[in-house]
Amino acid sequence: MLFNFSTWLPESLLNKNYILRDIIAGTTIAMIIIPQSMAYATLADVSPVYGLYAALIPVGIAAFFGSSRYLATGPVAMVCLLTSVAITSLSAGDTSLYIFYAVILAVTVGSFQVTLAFLKAGKIFDTIPEHVLLGFTSAAALIISTSQLSKVFGMPKISLGQLANPELLLANTPINLEALTLSILVLFLMYLIKYKFTKFMTLSNLAVFFAVLLSILYSLAQSYSGPVVGYIVPGLPDFKIPDYGIFNGSVPMLIIHTIIIAFVGFMEAIAIAKQLYSKKPPKDSNGVELYKNPTPVDSNQELFGQGIANISSGISGSIPVSGSFSRSAVNEASGAYSGLSSIVTMIVVGITLLFATPLLFSLPQATLGIIVIFAVIPLIRIKEMSKLYTESKRLGVITWITFASTLIFPMLSIEIYEGITTHIWTGIIFGFLIHIIFSKQQIAE
């Protein structure tokens, strides 16, 4: 289990064609993960630089010790949202402690995943109902999208209570029209490149990169008035074990958030890993497969890889990570042969941290918000939920209940135990319980 990279590293290094493909794919992913990781870090309520830290060592570690050749690990929207919820509750709203609790979470999530891997508990994830996940991810993606609207409008974060009096809100924090205009232009640009230039795969995959590049150029040329990323400390992260002596939050709450993040994060990772493994290798003009089928995806091995990646992220002083649907698909589509492409990505991110952080100073926050929205909108699968309801009333009802509860519980914020209040994670637990109840009723009938 420990050294799974031995299944691909020797042949990757000994074949020039394989190395070239991994370099191209790895560089392509780096151009995507650099802006995405910064955007997702702000979603997790920490500074953008911590997203870059999470896009460094964990990316290579996951590739070395996981079982998938194509899985691209790093910050992802769903895990970052759950991290935001967790650190807000654990720190009692003390923003100065956010990154500390994020680091603690990365280590505990990773340790839990590694423990499950050694217990060979990977098959547990095959039992989580897909319809429950469908409802949860759709609602969570909707929450993520709305959470980024403050960046889009160039305003500070607002509460539901403030929305009740929009006139007073706009008087105190007026909309930045330049930020809103830029957001709309960036969204249109990414849509155009991603979905209208499909004949040029490389160009299409770099929609986020071009959006960031043009946003920075606009910000510099027009003396942009909206919020920008600002100064990012250059250099690699400090590697150290977190100081647990500072921890004074709720241990039961930490355990709950650890389990939820570990499960939801790994479900995303293993789903895309299996999906990409099932694709057949491309063939040349003579009908000969360009390379043999990759080594099988193993749930326990992948758990171990993701767990070690999360621990390494914590030691790097950063946030929990997982496998990314979008970046993994691009990795495979860009011709990656092995996990070596992720090593290339790690190197490019490291070079960026060492030498290129000044270039990111003028990047508008509005662009980061639109990047997150653009990434998660496809996860709001209302049509699939409606279709499921027409095909199976029982599964459809469970899906819609999960969807609704994921939205409602954060707003109600009910204390279910001392120090433990309902939030977004309550939705998936509630949906799973409803699934069990409905299943028992069906058996009884």
CA nearest 73: which of 423, 310, 380? Answer: 310
Distance separating alpha carbons of residues 73 and 63, to the nearest angstrom: 8
Contact by Cβ (8 Å): 403, 136: yes
Residue 423 pLDDT: 76
Residue 348 pLDDT: 97
CA nearest 144: which of 98, 54, 75? Answer: 75
Q: Hey, what are 207's tokens?
A: 């929609």
For helices 77-90 and 365-376, give the axis angle rounded to 10 degrees: 120
Distance separating alpha carbons of residues 3 and 288, to the nearest angstrom: 31
Q: Hey, what are 411's tokens?
A: 């707003």
Strand partners, 283: 289
pTM: 0.88
Q: Is 381 helix (H, G, I), strand (E, B) or coil?
A: coil
Distance separating alpha carbons of residues 28 and 204, to the nearest angstrom: 11
CA distances from 290 to 10, 98, 293, 335, 337 (A): 18, 47, 10, 11, 10
Q: How many CB atoms lie within 10 A of CB 196?
A: 9
- Per-residue pLDDT tens, the chain, 445 aa: give them: 566 677 778 878 888 888 998 999 999 999 999 999 999 999 999 999 999 999 999 999 999 999 888 899 999 999 999 999 999 989 988 899 999 999 999 999 999 999 999 999 888 877 778 898 899 989 999 999 988 988 999 888 776 566 666 666 666 678 889 999 999 999 999 999 888 877 776 777 889 999 999 999 999 998 898 999 999 999 999 998 887 777 787 888 899 999 999 998 998 888 888 877 755 555 556 655 555 556 678 889 999 999 999 999 999 999 999 999 889 988 888 888 888 999 999 999 999 999 999 999 999 999 999 999 999 998 899 999 999 999 999 999 999 999 999 999 887 777 666 666 767 878 888 888 888 888 766 655 5
Residue 50 pLDDT: 97
Contact by Cβ (8 Å): 246, 100: yes
Q: Is 364 helix (H, G, I), strand (E, B) or coil?
A: strand
Q: Is 417 helix (H, G, I), strand (E, B) or coil?
A: strand
The H or E element containing residue 421 is strand 420-421
Residue 172 pLDDT: 67
Residue 443 pLDDT: 57
How many degrees, rounded to 5, is the angle at CA 82 between CA 366 and CA 25?
Answer: 65
The residue assigned the tokens 């389990």 is 259
Residue 125 pLDDT: 77
User: In 3-state terms, the chain is what percent helix, strand and coil (to 5)?
Assistant: 70, 5, 25
The residue assigned the tokens 């990323």 is 229
Q: Hey, what are 131's tokens?
A: 């319809």
Contacts (Cβ under 8 Å, ≥6 apart) of 227:
151, 154, 176, 179, 364, 365, 366
φ, ψ of residue 36 to 5 degrees: the values are: -65, -45
Pairing relation of β-strands 73-74 and 322-323? antiparallel
